[in-house]
Structures are given as structure tokens and as C-alpha cells.
Amino acid sequence: MTSKIFECIAIPSPSFSKHNVLVAEASAHAKRIVINDAGEKFDEAGLANFLNEAKADAAIIGTDPLSSKVISSLKHLKAIGKYGVGCDNVDIAALKAKGIHFGWEGGVNRRSVSELVLGFMLGHQRNIFRSINRMQNGSWQKDGGVQLSEKIIGIVGFGFIGTDLAHLLKPFGCEILVHDILDKTVSCHELGVKQVPYEDLLTRADILSFHVPGSSVTRGMFGPKELTKTKQNLLVINTARGGILDFDAVTKAVLSHKIAGYASDVFPDEPLISSEFKVESGFYFTPHLGGNAAEAVLAMGRSAIKGLKEFWL
């Protein structure tokens, strides 16, 4: 490898492909660049064809399904930069087995996601979402809800985003309980929060926010069984992965008033047609925009480019 530049960088991610600044910065590291300017969402066959037809020796992958089947079919690829922090769509073991470099950095969008979570909390607690909806429908109804301050917040998963959320909540004087499969004693001590068993979060939390990766371990970790243990005023927030909550069970719990609300940015199948889930009923749904703040998009894109550059080190 005498030249630290790729022959071709292929970018299947529609989000990255339409970002002119990121495309220009990526172009500086290749003789040729191929983008997904049609905005197509690739399945496995489509992704393999896109990468192979471009004869790409490098790629920037977002949520594209980079499975072992796709990886085994790749003819030219030497390096991948991960755009976004989730890796559940990438078979990292298969990449390693084939000798393909994988550049990834965690947590680069943490503030973008944690700010959305804080927005969900405030919007629900103070009846902001419902009040806006009512006024748009011609109703002047004063109901200021309750304060977020001093409530009990349960954070499931105390990694980059979970810890950043705890930082944002400190001025509110909330009691923050966290659950993680790893020992988080040091970070909990630094932030003045308490690590507890999952059962304690379920029974004590006024608000429960999920920040775990999508995996066989976390899939369905909150469903009918867990809903029997929670408070009736509970707000459930999911900005992690759609599959970690039983969507049907949680939506039914809101509609039957077993819990007070469900705020979600991620869903088992996307895009979600959400017209049946009304704000007035306690649903606050957004179209997977947690990590989509302009600053976060730029940071994630530059992290992916950095991941490709590490191939030459």
C-alpha cells in the first residue's frame, strides 16, 4: 500500500449521500466516489450489488444490512467506516474473518439523542404535547401537568447516551436509578446516581428510558411481564432500538391506562404509519431522528471518514 487513498469509496447511506459537506470530505480520500443519490433503501442483494458494481475498496455504511451473506459476496472491499453508532446491522465477526477493516466510534451522537429524551420527558410531564394538540384543534384547556423536577428516573443502559442523559437531568434534582449488565460503580459515583437491579427500576420509576444496543439479549426486554410491575403514571421512552420493547404490549398498556405514556423514536418496522397513535392518548412518536441533529450528523459522518483513514495506519 504505497498510496493512502482508496480507488473508490461507495456510500449506500441516503443520509450521508445527500450531505454535500460530508460527501466532499469523503471525496478527498478516494480517486472515485459513488453515492446513493436516489435515496434507495437497500436490502442485502441490493447492497451487495451497489458495492460490487462500484468496485469499491472502501465503503461508508449506515443502517444498511451488512450481513455475513453480503460480506461473503464482496469482491473488492478492504475497509468500512461506520456512519452512526449502532452496529447491530453489521456482522463484525464476518468482516474480521475476511480481513476487512472496520472503523467505528461510539457515542458521537450522544447529546443529540439525550436532548430528544429530555424533550420527551418535559413534553409529557408538563402536558406540552397535549396542550399544543388541543389548541391546534380549537380547545383552550389549562392543564399544566406536573414538574419533571425531583421525579424518579430509570435509565436502562448506562453507556454514552445514558450517562449524558444523567448529566442533563442533574439540575432537575431527580433521583436517578440506572441498570446495566456491566458494573458502573465509577460513573455512578461521579454522577451521584445509583445502579440497581432491573426489577427496582420497573417498580420505582416515574419515567423509564432505554439506552441499550439491539441484540438477542435485549430483544423484548420490556413487555407484558414487566408491565405488571410498573407504576400507573409511568412514561416509557425508547430511543435505542425498536425490538427491545414489545411494541404491541406497550401500546395496549397506554390505551388501557396501565401506564401514562409511550415516547418512541424507534420501531420494530420502519417507517411506522402512526396515525392511529394519538398524542391525546399518550403517544409521542418521532421518525428516528434522535441522532439526526445537524451537529450529530456531521460528527457521525466525520467519524466514519476517520474510520476509513485508520485503515492506512
* CATH of range 110-285; options 3.40.50.300, 3.40.390.10, 3.40.120.10, 3.40.50.720: 3.40.50.720
23-70 tens-digit pLDDT:
999 999 999 999 999 999 999 999 999 999 999 999 999 999 999 999
pLDDT at 191 over 50: yes
**Per-residue pLDDT at 313:** 87
Overall fold of domain 6-108+294-312: Rossmann fold (3.40.50)
pLDDT at 125 over 60: yes
- Tell me the average pLDDT across 92-99: 96
- Tell me the average pLDDT across 193-222: 96
For the chain, the structural domain boundaries read 6-108+294-312, 110-285
Distance from C-alpha of 73 to C-alpha of 51, rounded to nearest angstrom: 10
Sign of the torsion formed by the C-alpha atoms of 286, 291, 293 and 297: negative
278-294 tens-digit pLDDT:
999 999 999 999 999 99
pLDDT at 2 over 60: no
- Tell me the average pLDDT across 193-219: 96
> Amino acid identity of 215?
S
**Per-residue pLDDT at 185:** 96
Distance from C-alpha of 119 to C-alpha of 136, rounded to nearest angstrom: 20
Distance from C-alpha of 153 to C-alpha of 208, rounded to nearest angstrom: 6
Distance from C-alpha of 238 to C-alpha of 232, rounded to nearest angstrom: 18
- Hey, what's the torsion of the CAs at 129, 132, 138, 144, to 10 degrees? 80
Number of neighbouring beta carbons within 10 Å of residue 80:
27
pLDDT mean across residues, the chain:
96
**Per-residue pLDDT at 1:** 43
Confidence of residue 3 (pLDDT cuts 50, 70, 90): low
- Tell me the average pLDDT across 151-170: 98
Joined grid coordinates for residue 157 = 443502559
Distance from C-alpha of 82 to C-alpha of 95, rounded to nearest angstrom: 13
- Of 253, 257, 261, 196, the residue nearest 235 (C-alpha): 261
Q: How close are the terminal C-alpha atoms of the chain, in Å?
A: 11
Fold agreement between 6-108+294-312 and 110-285:
yes
